[in-house]
Structure 1
Amino acid sequence: MSEIESRIVEGFADTKLVVHCMGEASGRPLVLLHGLFSSAHVNWIKYGNAQILVDAGFRIYMPDLRAHGESEAPHDPRAYPEDVLVEDLKSIIAELELKDYDLGGFSLGSRTSARGVLAGLAPRRLILAGMGLSGLSGWARRSAHFVDAIDRFGSIERGDPAFVAQAFMKTMKIDREAARLLLGSVDDTAPSELARITMPTLCVCGADDEDNGKAQELADALPDGHYAETPGNHMSSVTFKEMGRAMAEFLLD
């Protein structure tokens, strides 16, 4: 596996964010954002998809989002204004001095990437993984599911819809107070706003993943949307190398 470098970037309210980098310095820049309760390591590095993209010629920048991974998890509510993850993303891209780059995310990372474009970011190509049309506009329902898992943490039994979220939070050692604040900072993206996402966009999703709606519907709603199906459900799709291969094929097309 390629060497992993890490650096610290200051996000909103001086929150320290850790950005993990792989690939030759001369490679094409690609920023990848992980999903909720996950990390750059689990989403992109652990199962080999980052290496696939490095081998395809990319220099990959993978932040741990605030309240995740090795990044700080402040407990001050003022550190979680509306769209704080977008503000962090803008700070990361500015600090890295990226001008011509590609951008992608999985689940919460997809929400953040899409809203980043709506806030003025202009990647050459965009990847929205693990995301469907109804997912972008239905954050209130998804957020309520995770807030419930946080509030009942430790008492949720197997068979309960929130059990998987509880188990993943335990595995990832999530700071639940910070995560609850973060959940309240994420905004919906209305279907009418998608017309402003004009760059070629790949909607790649596991065949058994409809946690955030149908990815094909999202691709159809975008001005230049493309759809790719890979194996897995919302939890497992990032463990299959087909995810990385579909991303590399799209970015190199």
Structure 2
Amino acid sequence: MTDFVTKTFESFDGTKLAVHRQGEGRPVILLHGLFSSADMNWIKWGHAKRLAEAGLEAIMLDFRVHGRSASPTDPAAYPNGVLVRDTAALIDHLGLPDGEYDLVGFSLGARTSIHACATGVLGPRRLIACGMGVAGLAEWEKRSAFFKRVIDEFDTIMRGDPAYLSRQFLKSQGVDRVAARLLLNAFENLDPAMLGNIETPTLVLCGDKDEDNGSAEELAALLPNAAYETVPGGHLDSATKPELGEKIVRFLNSS
């Protein structure tokens, strides 16, 4: 098992995106959360290492506006479904056929993964959606309004404000706020009826105190072939728990 390597590739519109890889074996595409990065979600807390040690290859995309990827400020760089298209571009770049890779997403990454599978853009062997519930898919305007407030009122949000932790996280990650706001406008709601299109074996995995995106248990119930499990923590800290990586590995390597 080797340390991760980072390279860039050009997405569908020429935007340069970073992808980090660790391990050898069946490829697992990992998509991080909003204002986060592959490093913050998957590398820092040892999840990529766990996958590599289990004989899998962790392939971790930095979404546009995140991590080491480009942050264009041209509104034309943010068509509807842009992150689904970026993920599809990565899989095309890697030459991975349907059914020969697994797909794991946390929060925004889970939302992107579910949209891609429900609309038939991607066809992974197995799917894991972490930190996501039905409201995060069907009521995006509410979540979007929260994050737009974090951006628009960035300099005036103080300790004690419900948005303070998100403001601090955004600051710590050095995200370009102009580009981030453009990205927020590129997401669409998903009709829960579309979840019935996802026949892929799926694990819905959520912090036991995480209700940021609505009910994850409800999401699992709406998917035709899904299991529901929890790990300790709320929305932000559940990604730091070793149980997250352990349950991802267990599901992906189960028969």
Q: Contact 1:154–1:166 at 8 Å: present in 2 too?
A: no
2:222 aligns with 221
Q: Could you report, residue by residue, the CA deviation over 1:187-241 in whole angstroms, capped at 9, with x for unpaired residues?
A: 1111100000110111000111010011111111100011111011101001101
Give the letter for the 2:223 counterpart: L
SS of equivalent residue, structure 1 residue 177: helix
1:171 aligns with 172
1:73 aligns with 71
2:42 aligns with 44
Aligned-residue CA RMSD (Å): 1.0
Q: Contact 1:12–1:84 at 8 Å: present in 2 too?
A: no
Give 1:120 shift: 2.2
Aligned length: 251
SS of equivalent residue, structure 2 residue 154: coil
Q: Is 1:231 the counterpart of 2:229 in the alignment?
A: no
> Structure 2 matches for 1:123-138, cutoff 5 A?
123-138=124-139
Structure 2 distance, partners of 1:154, 1:136, is: 29
1:244 aligns with 245
Q: Is 1:61 the counterpart of 2:73 in the alignment?
A: no
Q: Contact 1:12–1:79 at 8 Å: present in 2 too?
A: no
Q: Could you report, residue by residue, the CA deviation over 1:93-120 in whole angstroms, capped at 9, with x for unpaired residues?
A: 0001112100010000001111111242
> Structure 2 matches for 1:193-232, cutoff 5 A?
193-232=194-233
Q: Contact 2:88–2:121 at 8 Å: present in 1 too?
A: no
SS of equivalent residue, structure 2 residue 230: strand
Structure 2 distance, partners of 1:69, 1:251, is: 26
SS of equivalent residue, structure 2 residue 58: strand
Structure 1 distance, partners of 2:162, 2:11, is: 33
Give the letter for the 2:13 counterpart: A
> Structure 2 matches for 1:8-19, cutoff 5 A?
8-19=8-19
SS of equivalent residue, structure 1 residue 90: helix
Q: TM-score, normalised by structure 1?
A: 0.97
Structure 1 distance, partners of 2:239, 2:12, is: 28
> Structure 2 matches for 1:78-227, cutoff 5 A?
78-99=76-97, 100-117=100-117, 118-227=119-228
Give 1:85 shift: 0.5
Give the letter for the 1:49 counterpart: H
- Runs of 5+ unmatched residues, structure 1: none
Structure 1 consecutive aligned stretches of length 4 or more whose deviation exceeds 2 Å: none
Structure 1 distance, partners of 2:224, 2:120, is: 17
Structure 1 distance, partners of 2:121, 2:81, is: 13
Q: Contact 1:130–1:215 at 8 Å: present in 2 too?
A: yes
Aligned identity (percent) is 50
Q: Could you report, residue by residue, the CA deviation over 1:20-44 in whole angstroms, capped at 9, with x for unpaired residues?
A: 00002xx000000000000000000
Q: Could you report, residue by residue, the CA deviation over 1:123-143 in whole angstroms, capped at 9, with x for unpaired residues?
A: 010010000122211111000
Q: TM-score, normalised by structure 2?
A: 0.96
